[in-house]
Amino acid sequence: KIIVIGSSNTDMVVKSPRIPAPGETILGGKFMQVAGGKGANQAVAAARSGGLVSFIGKIGNDTLGNEAKKGLDRENIDTSNMYVDPTNPSGVALIFVSEEGENSISVASGANDTLSPEDITHSESFIKEHDILLVQFETPMPTVRKAIEVAKKHQLKVIVNPAPAGQLQEDLFPLIDLIIPNETETELITGIKITDHESMVNAADQLLAKGVKNVLITLGSKGVYLKNEEMDTIVPAYKVNAKDTTAAGDTFCGALSVALSNDQLLLEAIETANASAGLSTQKDGAQTSIPYQKEVIDFMEK
């Protein structure tokens, strides 16, 4: 069983010919309202991959939050430990997507910002019934820390997706079984800019030396770089016609967690997650783009 602790947002997306520059107004856009937030996206990705999934997050007492929670319920995600903030609005992300599939995002975290360490403590007996914790950095860092500490205390496997890019305190690294940063996030955490193979190896080595057990750097269309005590390899991405990469990283993390909870070997799990994330880039939006297990299996067999 997988528990995702993190954010839930409603994405307000405008797909326009290009991303407007400051002060510019562009006509010709197309609007979509899509359920998002890295935490909720990863929970949905895990559920659609066939996992048993719970989600802890915080919404406001409003329509957008209620709709977001209902969406998770429809995916058979256990939302019994979600919290409601009576005074702040539910999280919203304003997203521009260009015709090339590039995006530009501004997030108003709202209730996500008040998910507290006390909330995590309050859910400790619920958390300990799971095997894997998956967290991101879209909720406050003290909350992320508490989630990791509680999970470790009860022997859950801890997977951290340090997104959006943020620093981790040194004492947390040894508690992490897998860290999954993209290239930007890797640079922010290690101070090493990923320009070539050597810089990637150095960045991964730094994280391993700090006590992380497995480093997976996602490389977009190039796939994933994996380094741990035994392995040092790139698992290539699937060839797809990418249209909108929103939630590709989230889909990867959710799908990977399920593959690992099914006792797949790490390399196989990465391959499955690459397929799932690759497929997600072929559709618009966050949760609208996340594929189901059957689509992923069919795609991998082709």
Catalytic residue positions?
250
Residue 61 buriedness (CB in 10 A; 0-12 / 13-18 / 19+): middle
Residue number, 109 or 161, with CB nearest to ligand ADP: 161
**Cα angle 182-14-5, degrees, rounded to a multiple of 5:** 45
How far apart, in whole angstroms, are the C-alpha atoms of residue 96 and residue 152? 38
CB of 101 to ligand ADP, least distance (A): 8
Site string for ligand ADP, 28-57 (x = CB under 6 A): ------------------------------
Encode 82-91: b = buried (16+ Cβ within 10 Å), e = exposed.
Answer: bbebeebbbb
Residue number, 173 or 252, with CB nearest to ligand ADP: 252
CB of 187 to ligand ADP, least distance (A): 12
Q: Scanning residues 218 to 257, which ones bind ligand ADP (CB under 6 A)?
A: 218-221, 223-224, 237-238, 240, 242, 245, 248-249, 252
Residue number, 2 or 194, with CB nearest to ligand ADP: 194
Question: How many chain residues touch ligand ADP (CB under 6 A)?
Answer: 20
Q: Scanning residues 141 to 170, which ones bind ligand ADP (CB under 6 A)?
A: 163
How far apart, in whole angstroms, are the C-alpha atoms of residue 44 and residue 36? 10
Q: Which range binds ligand ADP by CB under 6 A, 85-93, 137-145, 213-221, 285-293?
A: 213-221
Q: Binding-site residues, please?
A: 9-11, 37-41, 138, 182, 218-223, 244, 246, 249-250, 274, 280, 283, 285, 289
Question: Under a CB-based contact definition with an 8 Å cutoff, are residues 168 and 149 in contact?
Answer: no
Phi, psi angle pair for 281, to nearest 5°: -80, -10
Q: Binding-site residues for K(+), please?
A: 244, 246, 280, 283, 285, 289
Identify the sign of the CA torsion 157, 272, 239, 19.
Answer: negative
Question: Under a CB-based contact definition with an 8 Å cutoff, are residues 5 and 120 in contact?
Answer: yes
From the list 3, 36, 1, the residue with the least C-alpha distance to 248 is: 36
CB of 135 to ligand ADP, least distance (A): 15
Q: What is the largest CA-CA distance in the chain?
A: 53
From the list 95, 76, 74, the residue with the least C-alpha distance to 9 is: 95
CB of 59 to ligand ADP, least distance (A): 23
Site string for ligand ADP, 254-293 (x = CB under 6 A): --------------------x--xx--x------------
Residue 67 tokens, joined: 């709709």
Residue number, 114 or 282, with CB nearest to ligand ADP: 282
Q: Scanning residues 179 to 198, which ones bind ligand ADP (CB under 6 A)?
A: 182
CB of 137 to ligand ADP, least distance (A): 12
How far apart, in whole angstroms, are the C-alpha atoms of residue 57 and residue 38? 11
CB of 293 to ligand ADP, least distance (A): 16
Q: State the pairing for strand pair 9-15/30-36.
A: antiparallel
Phi, psi angle pair for 186, to nearest 5°: -60, -45
Q: Binding-site residues for substrate, please?
A: 9-11, 37-41, 138, 250
Residue, CB closest to ligand ADP: 249
Binding site for ligand ADP (CB under 6 A): 163, 182, 218-221, 223-224, 237-238, 240, 242, 245, 248-249, 252, 274, 277-278, 281
